[in-house]
Structures are given as C-alpha cells and as structure tokens.
C-alpha cells in the first residue's frame, strides 16, 4: 500500500538548487517544511508559569492543612500524581503524534475494574492480562488509524465506545480484592514517572526526534498519507498509549480504598487531555515542552487535594474542562511563538563531492543563462567637424593655384 505521498522522493525542490541532504538538515520536512528550528523559549516561559502556579497552590494546601502533605497523606498524593501522570503521558504521546487517543479514560476504568475483580490472584496474574489486552486493543486501534488513514480522535472514540460496552456489563461498584499497596514505594514510583516525563520532554526537544514523532501531522490535505515511517511511529505511539492508560487505571484502583465505580471514563479522558495540553503539548501535534508534563500533573493533583480540603465539590469534568480551556491557550501560544523565525532561514552548509571528498568543496558552476557573454559597451565615436579639418590649414588652397 502506498504510504508515501506524491513528491516525497524528489531530490530537491523545483525552485531551489539545494541538494536534498542539505534540505533535510535545514527543514523539518524537506518537501513542505519551514526553514529553521522551533523555538523552545516559549515552552520554558510557559513552564515557569506552571512552576509558579504549583508553588502557590502547594503553599495554599500547606496553609490549609499541613498534615495533607505529610507521611501517609503525602504518599497517597504521590501515587495519585503518578496515576494521573501515566494517564496524561498516554494522552500526550498520542497528541505529539497528531493522533489523539480519546479512549485512554475508558481503558483506565476497564483496567481498574479488571484489577478489582482479579486482584486476589496476585499482582502479576491480574496485571499481565490487563496489559496484554490493552496492547492488543491498541494495536487494533493503530491499524485502523494508519491503514485506513483516518483521524485518531475518531477511531479512538469508536474504540472508547467498545470499551464502555465492556464496562457497562457491571451494574454495581466493584470492591478491590487485591492487597497490593503502592504507597509503600510511592517515592520510587514518583521518581520513575518524573524521570520518564522529563527525559521524554528532553528527547522530544531534539529536532530529529521531534520531526520523527510528529511526522503524522498533516502539512497540506489531511487526508493524504504521510508515509510508511509516519504510520509505524504513530502505530507504536497508540499501542504505548493504551498500555500506559491501563497501568494508570490499575495504580489508581490500588491506591483508592473505596470500590471502583463502573463509569464511562470519558471524564478521565477530558482530564488527561486537558493536563497534557496544559503542559504545553500542542493540539496539532509534534510540539511540546520539557518539564511541562511533570509540572502540570503536580499542579492539578495538588489543586484537587486543596479543593477537597476546602470542601469544594469539583468533578473530573470541571477540573479537566478548565485545564483543557487553558491548554487551548497554550496551544495557540506554542504554535504562534514556537515556530521558526520568519525571514531568517538557516544557511545551508557547503556540500562536498560525496564519494572522494576529504573536506574540500568543488567550485559551483557558473550560470549559463547569459551565454554568450556580453561584450563591453564601446564609447560612441565623436562627430568630426568638417570646418576644423586640418586640411583647411595645411593643404594647398585652390585660389592660390589659379593665380599662378
């Protein structure tokens, strides 16, 4: 099946004499890219705002109830942050590949219900099947997206509907049967999540990796295929996204002493996508920050605890909707201020002869548009005044001859 779009095999743009190797280093997409590198400064500025917000909300929570950030309560808060972080990473990864996975919330609820029912068999026996089923479901979703080349949000919404049907088979909440308590290793789990989030952001800031991950992002007609490489990367991202969502659901279920309610889980999808966009991930794909995911997850988690301490009843719909609204503003800032500077393209580096080059460059051929060369323009001859001809001074006069 032809994944490559027309014109991708061209060695250079028709209007430029720059070789394809140089275009590949200068442009994010050699065929339709913008000259220059994305500006990361806008992401760092946005992350400073997130850091300030996290500091303010944390101070308000400590002022309201210092016990909420100590001992057992602190470990519970960290596990909640890891669960929400895994769910936000699942949504953010699919957003970076321009194929948003809207099924992450229902998948998390389905995995939580499975763990609640099978937890008494042990963590490996209950975790393994849930992860395997999630991977198979993610693969089916990925094939639907990349083979049919349909929008990820539409295909994942259909997948979410299928998962909701599985959830609705239960008419009452399910009490967790397992005895696994993740709070004993809360520090290690949070450190692992923080490392994954920051390292993922750092790798995503590298131009080659960012271009590879965001290759599925449309550049012209969104219905045109973006190539086999884009299809493989997007499929892998969707599979990893579903697995992360299942792990998040199991972790949240194990951290909550209450039963797991058989809800649709779409409110968790809104919350996860909202947190991912609040972190600075563009809704159009490809662009994203470095520390934004960690800071946004911490901000939302601490705010939810603070709201509970103040007696505010805020559901995931409210918090997720607010985060989504602010995330739309962040997307606009990222897309407007994070694109390469206009009018200042990077100059291509000189290219050698390729096979026998040892650092020398071959002279560039001169243009033949003006061949043959134009001769220099000669000065126009000055007109001769016949009355100042020397003959009138030196030659013999006719009247002198006649007198003789």
- The answer for residues whose C-beta is within 8 angstroms of residue 59's C-beta and 6 or more apart is none
Please give the average per-residue pLDDT across 177-185, as a whole number. 86
pLDDT at position 356 is: 37
Q: Which residues contact 329 (CB under 8 A, 6 or more apart)?
A: none
The answer, yes or no, to whether residue 79 has pLDDT greater than 60, is yes
| Residues 6 or more apart in contact with residue 242 via CB below 8 angstroms | 90, 101, 103, 104, 107, 134, 135, 137, 138, 141
Residue 403 or 396, more confident: 396
- Compute the distance between CA of residue 103 and CA of residue 162 in angstroms, rounded to an integer: 9
Distance from C-alpha of 214 to C-alpha of 236, rounded to nearest angstrom:
13
- 285: alpha, beta or left, given left = phi > 0 and alpha = psi -120 to 50? left
Per-residue pLDDT tens over the stretch 332-356? 998 888 777 664 544 443 433 444 3
Indicate whether 61 pLDDT > 90. yes
What is the pLDDT, as a whole number, of residue 71?
86
Which phi and psi (to 5°) does residue 361 adopt?
-115, 140
Query: What mean pLDDT do residues 196-207 have?
Result: 90
Q: Is the pLDDT of residue 142 over 90?
A: yes
How high is the pLDDT of residue 177? 85
Given a cut of 90, whether residue 197 has pLDDT beyond it is yes
| pLDDT tens column, 9-33 | 443 344 434 444 434 433 345 454 5
Q: What pLDDT was estimated at residue 379?
A: 59
Residue 300, pLDDT above cutoff 60: yes
The predicted structure's pLDDT at residue 40:
82
Q: What is the pLDDT confidence band of residue 109, given thresholds at 50, 70 and 90?
A: very high
Q: Is the pLDDT of residue 276 over 90?
A: yes
Please, what is the average pLDDT of the chain? Answer: 80
- Over the stretch 351-385, which tens digit does the pLDDT of each residue have? 334 443 344 444 455 555 555 555 555 655 565 55
Closest Cα partner for 112 from 319, 255, 11, 302?
Answer: 255
**Higher pLDDT among residues 283 and 374, named by residue:** 283
3-state SS string over the chain? CCCCCCCCCCCCCCCCCCCHHHHHHHECCCCCCCECCCCCHHHHHHHHHHHHHHHHHHHHHHHHCHHHHCHHHHHHHHHHHHHHHHHHHHHHHHHHCCCCCCCHHHHHHHHHHHHHHHHHHCHHHHHHHHHHHHHHHHHHHHHHHHHHCCCHHHHHHHHHHHHHHHHCCCCCCECCCCCCCHHHHHHHHHHHHHHHHHHHHHHHHCHHHHHHHHHHCCCCCCCCCCCHHHHHHHHHHHHHHHHHHHHHHHHHHHHCCCCECCCCCHHHHHHHHHHHHHCCCCCCCCCCCCCHHHHHHHHHHHHHHHHHHHCCCCCHHHHHHHHHHHHHHHHHHHHHHCCCCCCCCCCCCCCCCCCCCCCCCCCCCCCCCCCCCCCCCCCCCCCCCHHHCCHHHHCCCHHHHHHC
**Contact at 8 Å (CB) between 186 and 75?**
yes
Distance of alpha carbon 254 from alpha carbon 257, whole angstroms: 7
What percentage of residues in the chain have a pLDDT greater than 70?
75
217-273: pLDDT as tens digits: 888 788 888 888 889 999 999 999 999 999 999 999 999 888 899 999 999 999 999
Which of 80-84, 169-173, 371-375 bottoms out in mean pLDDT, i.e. has the lowest? 371-375
Q: Which residue has the higher pLDDT, 3 or 240?
A: 240
Q: Reply yes or no on whether the pLDDT at 281 is more than 80.
A: yes
Give residue 48's pLDDT: 95
pLDDT in tens, 203-212: 988 888 888 8
């Amino acid at each position: 099946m032809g994944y490559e779009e027309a014109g991708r095999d061209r060695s250079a743009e028709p209007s430029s004499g720059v070789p394809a190797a140089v275009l590949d280093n200068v442009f994010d997409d050699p065929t339709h890219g913008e000259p220059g590198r994305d500006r990361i400064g806008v992401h760092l500025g946005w992350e400073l705002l997130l850091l300030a917000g996290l500091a303010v909300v944390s101070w308000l929570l400590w002022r309201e109830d210092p016990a909420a950030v100590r001992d057992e309560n602190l470990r519970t808060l960290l596990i909640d942050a890891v669960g929400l972080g895994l769910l936000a990473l699942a949504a953010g990864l699919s957003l970076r590949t321009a194929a948003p996975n809207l099924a992450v919330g229902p998948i998390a609820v389905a995995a939580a219900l499975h763990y609640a029912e099978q937890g008494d068999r042990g963590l490996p026996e209950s975790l393994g099947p849930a992860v395997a089923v999630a991977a198979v479901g993610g693969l089916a979703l990925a094939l639907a997206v990349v083979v049919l080349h349909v929008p990820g949000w539409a295909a994942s919404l259909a997948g979410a509907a299928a998962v909701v049907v599985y959830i609705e088979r239960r008419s009452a909440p399910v009490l967790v049967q397992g005895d696994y308590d993740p709070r004993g290793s809360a520090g290690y789990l949070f450190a692992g999540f923080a490392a994954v989030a920051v390292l993922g952001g750092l790798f995503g800031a590298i131009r080659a990796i960012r271009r590879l991950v965001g290759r599925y992002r449309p550049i012209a007609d969104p219905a045109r295929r973006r190539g086999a490489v884009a299809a493989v990367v997007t499929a892998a991202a969707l599979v990893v996204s579903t697995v992360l969502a299942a792990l998040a659901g199991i972790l949240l279920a194990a951290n909550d002493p209450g039963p797991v309610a058989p809800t649709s889980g779409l409110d968790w999808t809104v919350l996860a996508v909202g947190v991912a966009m609040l972190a600075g991930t563009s809704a159009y794909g490809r662009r994203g920050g470095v520390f934004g995911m960690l800071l946004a997850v911490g901000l939302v988690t601490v705010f939810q605890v603070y709201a509970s301490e103040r007696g505010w009843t805020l559901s995931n719909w409210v918090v997720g909707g607010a985060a989504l609204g602010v995330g739309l503003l962040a997307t606009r800032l990222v897309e407007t201020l994070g694109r390469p500077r206009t009018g200042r393209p990077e100059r291509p580096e000189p290219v050698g002869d390729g096979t026998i080059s040892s650092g020398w460059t071959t002279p560039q051929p001169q243009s033949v548009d003006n061949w043959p060369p134009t001769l220099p323009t000669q000065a126009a001859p000055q007109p001769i005044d016949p009355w100042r001809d020397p003959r009138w001074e030196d030659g013999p006069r006719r009247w002198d001859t006649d007198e003789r």
